[in-house]
Amino acid sequence: QVQLVESGGGLVQAGGSLRLSCAASGLTFSSHNMGWFRQAPGKEREFVAAIRWSGGPTYYAGSVKGRFTISRDNAKNTVYLQMNSLKPEDTAVYYCATVSNLATMIGNYWGQGTQVTVSS
């Protein structure tokens, strides 16, 4: 079955950086668009970034553009999210997902999430 396993979350001070990883199995990874989403306490899950199956183009939410970078390594079945200049409002559980339609950014298969906490 499809498995997506996120890692790399943690506690970081504002202005710091983290890199999240999502390892995929049970699917032809190189054929799937991939995305990162996040859910803060008391809020709905929101789109963060996505990347086409081929490695480009990439897409970002306005709130993270210029600070976050999504990338993928199809040889390692892994998608990454490099997060720089982190802000307290970036605190959330971060999920990776397959994205069948880059126009709608709706996730299909989901990982279990990894917590990112940014202290002020």
The pLDDT, as a whole number, for residue 58 is 98
Distance CA 73, CA 48 (A): 19
If you average pLDDT over residues 52-72, what whole number do you get? 97
Q: Which two tokens stand for residue 20?
A: 């999240």
The pLDDT, as a whole number, for residue 29 is 97
The pLDDT, as a whole number, for residue 63 is 97
The enclosing H or E element of 9 equals none
Distance CA 116, CA 18 (A): 9
The pLDDT, as a whole number, for residue 96 is 98
Distance CA 116, CA 100 (A): 26
The pLDDT, as a whole number, for residue 26 is 96
**Per-residue CA distances from 44 to 37, 75, 93 (Å):** 10, 33, 11
**Could you tell me if 6 and 93 are in contact, meaning their C-beta atoms sit under 8 angstroms apart?**
no
If you average pLDDT over residues 93-103, what whole number do you get? 96
Give the contacts of 108 (CB within 8 A, at least 6 positions apart).
97, 98, 99, 100
